[in-house]
Amino acid sequence: MSRAPRQINSGPKKIFQPGEVILEVRDLTMVFGDRRVLDNIRFQVRAGETFVIMGGSGCGKTTLLRCLIGAQKPTSGSIHLFGEDITRMDPIEMDRIRLRFGMNFQFGALFQSMTVGENIALPLQEHSEVDPSLIEMIVKMKLELVGLTGFETFMPSALSGGMRKRVGLARAMALDPEILFSDEPTSGLDPVMTAVVDQLTLDSTRKIGATAVVVSHDMTSVFRIATRILMIGNGPRQGQVVAEGTPEEIRKNPDPFLQQFVKGEADGPIPLRMAQDDYLKHLLGDG
Amino acid sequence: MKFIVNALRRVEGDSYVTLNARIYSFLLWGLTNPKVLSPAHTLRQMIRIGVEALPMASLVALSVGFILAMQASTELGKLGANSFIPDLVSLSLLRELGPLLIAIIVVGRSGSAVAAELGTMKVNEEIEALKVMAISPVRFLVIPRYLALMIMLPILTVFGNCVGLAGGWAVCVGTLDMTSSFYITHAVQRPEVWDLYSGLIKSAVFAHLIITIACYQGLGVTGGAEGVGRATTASVVYSILWIIIADAALTGLFFFAL
Ligand SMILES: Nc1ncnc2c1ncn2[C@@H]1O[C@H](COP(=O)(O)OP(=O)(O)OP(=O)(O)O)[C@@H](O)[C@H]1O
Ligand SMILES: [Mg+2]
């Protein structure tokens, strides 16, 4: 594979000290058709944090993450990443920002026509002047981190769902990003692998000083890694911030919605099934 | 130069025109920095979408050569003008049928494959993953395919013309008692260089249409496997439509306006 030249001048960049605001979201609203999927979301993430976004299925976590990485323009609101508003950026400026973060997609998003090794090597080949033999070594290191030593030559289609997710994580970390965005990195993994991936997230924040923004609804994992948690609601509170705080604050928060989610109970304010009368009306079709 | 390139790359939106603008920006950039054009990828695509179409293109060209000679012989024979058959075969092939039919084969074989491949990548979020890694999908995926087809279609066309002429020769020599030397002198002497060039210009225009339409449809897929199917069909239908419209326009331009 030929190596493309460095095309993006990363320029002088500000190094964020632990505790400085590295990501700030203000009044973010996202509307699809007439559905308000995200409603006035606002929060700050400081460098070195492991910031966990949680919420029920369909509450808009992936949509939020897609806005944060500039894959989608929000309907309104602003997103300041590394101190710059990415909602007003043109594609070239955006590329400069993109080199500084990594994204682990919910479903891996691996390149199906490339081997596992090539998937992880691609960002290195495209964006660094590193020697091919060194790239090979980095690929091995990243694979070792996610417990997939020896799978370099496998095609993504020959991997299990959980293995694909881990390759996605390895690829996201290939360039040692300052911020790691991770969409449900542990869903579909066994308890041991979950712990390994959690440890990996913790290592990147505690040891390397990076920042992690993780979407998760696995409560054990959330409380294991989070330094701060943002809970997004669904149902009548679709896309709104239900609560934000440290794990301790979230545990103590009396909000019944939040408590139901944290404890994983079927009964509570989170509307899942209809009340019997409503159900009958709905089936019979009279309003 | 750099200014034009950056201005083109800054164009936002996902229309057919912006796709073209992005392609040109990278091609311009490639003039000063050939690595942008990823030669290795381009070579691989040339083999995939060009060389592998060779057998089918030859078969079609050969049949067209037969058809032209046989059809011509029925009418020209009545006039006692069988000696014009080689001229007719070679002119029709070079100016018109060679570029057109080879392009249509390539639409069905390679254009649809490109649309389906890029569409699947879109559905699988691979395109988005590329963008997030600050790798332009146009540079990484479209440019190698674009260059490959722009180079390979004219080559395939020249090759198809030769095979078609051989088909005409087989009919003339086999059934019409023409000597090989007569056929070859007439078939080769009658056309002017411009006849060949006009066909090649056509095939370059067709290549541009095929690959930009296929990439545009592929990158624009929404809605899962069904969307990929729709895009593939659309890429074939629109390519053929625009190829024929362009052919009419170019023929008018080359042989009536100039
Ligand atoms: N492109 C789109 N067009 C229309 N609606 C969309 C689009 N993308 C997402 N949505 C809607 O936005 C809502 C949130 O989707 P999203 O994928 O963000 O959920 P999520 O919180 O990540 O859920 P999960 O935990 O199941 O992954 C869903 O109800 C979905 O229907
Ligand atoms: Mg999601």
At residue A7, the pLDDT reads 52
One domain, residues A126 and A266: no
Measured from the CB, is residue A34 less than 6 Å from ligand 1?
A: no
3-class SS of residue A39: strand
pLDDT tens for A251-285 read 888 888 888 888 888 777 776 677 778 888 888 88
pLDDT tens for A208-232 read 788 999 999 888 899 999 999 999 9
User: Binning pLDDT at 50, 70 and 90, where does residue A3 land?
Assistant: very low
Q: CB-CB: which of B9, B36, B41 is closest to A92?
A: B9
Instruction: Of B160, B52, B47, give the one whose Cα is nearest residue B99.
Output: B160
At residue A25, the pLDDT reads 94
Which run of H or E residues covers position A120? helix A116-127
Question: Which range marks the domain in which residue A158 is found?
Answer: 108-176
At residue A5, the pLDDT reads 46
Render each residue's pLDDT in chain B as its tens digit; 258 residues. Answer: 777 777 777 777 788 999 999 999 899 988 888 888 888 999 999 998 888 889 999 999 999 999 999 998 888 888 888 888 899 899 999 999 999 999 999 999 999 999 999 999 999 999 999 999 999 999 999 999 999 999 999 999 999 999 999 999 999 998 888 888 999 988 888 888 888 999 999 999 999 999 999 999 999 999 889 999 999 999 999 999 999 999 999 999 988 876
Q: What share of chain A is helix, strand, coil (3-state, %, to 5)?
A: 40, 20, 40
Label residues B94-106 b or e (16+ Cβ within 10 Å = b): bbbbbbbbbbbbb
What CA–CA distance (Å, rounded) separates A126 from A3? 7
Of A63, A182, A213, the residue with max ligand 1 atoms within 8 A of its CB, to mutate for a pocket test, comes to A63
Q: Which of A105, A164, A169, A178 to mutate to test the interface with B (most CBs of B within 10 A)?
A: A105
Q: Which-ligand-closest: CA of A30?
A: 1
Last residue of a domain, one of A144, A176, A208: A176
Q: What ipTM does the predicted assembly reach?
A: 0.86
Distance B208 CA to ligand 1 centre (A): 37
Instruction: Of B98, B150, B113, B143, give the one whose Cα is nearest residue B228.
Output: B113
pLDDT tens for B153-175 read 999 999 999 999 999 999 999 88
| pLDDT higher than threshold 70 for residue A4 | no
Q: Which amino acid is at B20?
A: N
Q: pTM for the whole thing?
A: 0.88
Last residue of a domain, one of A121, A141, A176: A176
One domain, residues A70 and A115: no
Q: What share of chain B is helix, strand, coil (3-state, %, to 5)?
A: 90, 0, 10
Answer yes or no: is A131 within a domain.
Answer: yes
Domain count for chain A: 2
Q: Which of B44, B135, B141, B147 to mutate to test the interface with A (most CBs of A within 10 A)?
A: B135
Instruction: Of A154, A94, A95, give the one whose Cα is nearest residue A119.
Output: A154
Name the percent of chain A lying above pLDDT 90. 53
At residue A1, the pLDDT reads 39
At residue A259, the pLDDT reads 87
pLDDT tens for B115-137 read 999 999 999 999 999 999 999 99
Answer yes or no: is A9 within a domain.
Answer: no
What is the CB-side half-sphere exposure of residue A138 using CA atoms within 13 A?
Answer: 22
3-class SS of residue A230: strand
Q: Shortest Cα distance from B14 to chain A (angstroms)?
A: 13
Domain boundaries, chain B: 1-37, 39-212+228-257
Last residue of a domain, one of A124, A156, A176: A176
